[in-house]
Amino acid sequence: MVFNGRPFTALAVAVILLAFAGTAFASTAQQAGARSIVVFQKGFVDQDQKDSIIKKAGMKKIKNLNIINAVVVEREGGASALTEGLNGVLRMENDAVIHLQGKLKGHPQKESDEVLPWGVDRIDANDVWDRNHDLDVDGQRWAGSGVKVALLDTGVEMNHPDLRKNIKKGYNVVDPKKPPYDALGHGTHVAGTLAAVDNRAGVLGTAPKALIYPVKVMDDEGYGTVSGVIEALEWCIENRMQVVNMSFGTYEDVQSLHDAIAEAYDSGIVLVAAVGNDGPGNDTVEYPARYTEVIAVSATDSTDTVTEWSSSGPEVEIAAPGADILSTFLDGEYIAGYGTSMAAPHVSGTAALIISSGIKDKNKDGRINSEVREALRESATDLGDPGRDSLYGHGLLNAKGAVGRPGHNER
Ligand SMILES: [Ca+2]
Ligand SMILES: [Ca+2]
Ligand SMILES: [Ca+2]
Ligand SMILES: [Ca+2]
């Protein structure tokens, strides 16, 4: 594998990412370890009845997860009193921890004259909304205008001058009484790659007019719970999100998460997730990227080579830039990011471009998410082994090709 004269950088980043993933349990992890998801049988929907069963079993109810007919509980010794198949209980499973899939590195930079980050340039997103290449967006319709993208992340710095115009009212799963603020910078970085605005300063995002709905599912240390993600997906369905970006993962296959993902997909949402930073080595794609309803995104560098640390496996669907990505950071500043976390928002932003430019419901199921997915796949530039492979999926993301396909708009 060639790293274009940057082997040490790549290696150092891989080490940092691994160290990060292996960080000892934070408070969120302890919380997840004490929690279970109790799923009730279909049709067993009486809340009082469910609450009373939970109480009798000696468990403390934390919250409802209505889309999968479940209740999150804290076990207090009497956990075993609940038996699957009895009292309307379909299944009981442990909650699990999620972690973010990227690392911010180097010194934060102040705002400068506007630049096009190399990743947005490489996927030719700017060719969609900046026809004369003067870094000035031409026409809202081509730039993701009005498309609702939920960012399930650490929150977002909502008053960042390069994001503010596109930020809508989101939700804080971690602390519902507070807005979805970002104290870590990860979510703010992902937001910039997705939709940093055309304001003649800082950077430009993949879809500079897309609407960002921050949903804080990870705490200020970068950890969250699967039950929190399920709650966030419920929020996304209720609030009619069109695209959901998930730059996080978990190593555990939790059926309840898969069920919630399937509900979101069936409601028509385009689901995008980072595959993880567990490479090299095959079959390392994390959840939820591993689920079939989700577009699993691996990370390439500026030589269009998959990064050494990107997870890989048959579930990888598409590759996008994820190394040395300049984007928005806290305090109105900018910083470089590394990880499949940074690759995913290029795909989510492109999905917004496809939607705003107008895509037909070809299979007439009343939803356009499968058509968006097909456009992304069919336009991808094949890399690596011929055809779909476990490193690049269908190939490198190609926004210009995805939006400009004949029959999908009147360009
Ligand atoms: Ca222009
Ligand atoms: Ca800008
Ligand atoms: Ca359809
Ligand atoms: Ca290939």
Where along the chain do its domains lie?
A: 27-95, 99-403
Q: Identify the pLDDT of residue 3.
A: 33
Note whether 97 and 251 are within 8 A (CB).
no
Identify the DSSP state of 140: G
Cα–ligand 3 centroid distance for 124 (angstroms) = 25
Ligand 4: distance of its center to the CA of 281 in Å? 17
Q: Burial of 74 by CB count in 10 Å (0-12 exposed, 13-18 middle, 19+ buried)?
A: middle
Helix (H, G, I), strand (E, B) or coil at 133: coil
3-class state of residue 56 by DSSP: helix
What pLDDT, on the 0 to 100 scale, is given for residue 26? 57
- Across the strands, what pairs with 171? 215
Cα 97 to ligand 4 centre (Å): 32
CB 252 within 8 Å of CB 226? yes
CATH number of the domain at 27-95, please? Answer: 3.30.70.80
Predicted confidence at residue 9, as pLDDT, reads: 43
Amino acid found at 375: A
Distance 370 CA to ligand 3 centre (A): 6
| Ligand approaching nearest to the C-alpha of 114 | 2
Distance 117 CA to ligand 2 centre (A): 10
Instruction: Give 202 Cα–ligand 2 centroid separation in angstroms.
Output: 4
Q: Rounded to an integer, what distance in angstroms lies between the CA atom of residue 75 and that of residue 79?
A: 5
Instruction: Find the ligand nearest to 334 CA.
Output: 2
Residue of 95, 124, 160, 186 with catalytic role: 186
> In this structure, which ligand is nearest to the CA of 318?
4
Q: Residue 180: is the preceding peptide bond cis (ω within 30°)?
A: no
Q: How many helices (H) and strands (E) does the chain have?
A: 11, 17
Q: How far is CA 79 from the centre of its chain?
A: 33
**Rounded to whole angstroms, how far apart are CA atoms 152 and 358?**
25
If you search the block for the tokens 């590759």, which residue do you land on? Answer: 319
Residue 311: per-residue pLDDT: 98
Q: How many whole angstroms separate alpha carbon 207 and alpha carbon 193?
A: 8
Mean per-residue pLDDT pooled into runs of 10, the chain (411 residues) = 37 45 60 89 92 89 96 75 75 95 96 96 96 88 95 98 98 97 98 97 98 98 97 98 98 98 98 97 96 98 98 98 98 98 98 95 96 97 98 98 64 39
Torsion over CA of 185, 191, 194 and 200, rounded to 10 degrees? -90
Q: Which residue has the tokens 């009730």?
A: 40
Instruction: Give the amino acid at 206.
Output: T
CB 50 within 8 A of CB 32: no
Please return the burial class of 135, using the count of CB atoms within 10 Å of its CB with bins 0-12, 13-18 and 19+: middle
Instruction: State in Å: Cα 332 to ligand 2 middle.
Output: 11
- Is 186 labeled as catalytic in the residue annotation? yes
Reply yes or no on domain 99-403 having CATH 3.40.50.200: yes
Which one of 153, 259, 301, 389 is the catalytic residue?
153
Query: Is 359:337 a contact under the CB 8 Å cutoff?
Result: no
Q: Which ligand is nearest to the CA of 196?
A: 2
The CA distance from 144 to 351, in Å, is 8
Query: What is the number of other CB atoms lying within 10 angstroms of the CB of residue 241?
Result: 28
| DSSP codes joined into one string, 357-374 | H----TT-SS--HHHHHH
Per the annotation, the verdict on 27 as an active-site residue is no
Kindly identify the ligand whose nearest atom is closest to the C-alpha of 383: 4
Give backbone dihedrals phi and psi of 356, rounded to 5 degrees, phi first. Answer: -70, -30
d(CA 360, CA 362): 5
Q: Which ligand neighbours the alpha carbon of 366 most closely? A: 3
* Residue among 145, 247, 341, 379 flagged as catalytic: 341
Cα 385 to middle of ligand 4, angstroms? 4
298 is catalytic: no
Task: Kindly report the backbone phi and psi dihedral angles of residue 237, in degrees, each rounded to the nearest multiple of 5, phi listed first.
Answer: -65, -45
Residues, CB within 5 angstroms of ligand 3 (ion): 361, 363, 365, 367
Distance 195 CA to ligand 3 centre (A): 25
The CA 137 to ligand 1 mean position distance, Å, reads 5
Q: How far apart are CA 325 and CA 118, in angstroms?
A: 7
- Residue 393: how many other CB atoms lie within 10 Å: 30
Judged on CB neighbours under 10 Å (0-12, 13-18, 19+), 167 is buried
User: Distance from the CA of 395 to the center of ligand 4, in angstroms?
Assistant: 6
How many angstroms is it from 116 CA to the middle of ligand 2?
Answer: 9
Ligand nearest to the CA of 359: 3
Cα 367 to ligand 3 centre (Å): 4
Residue pair 274/248 in contact by the 8 Å Cβ criterion: yes
Half-sphere exposure of 69 (CA within 13 A, CB side): 14
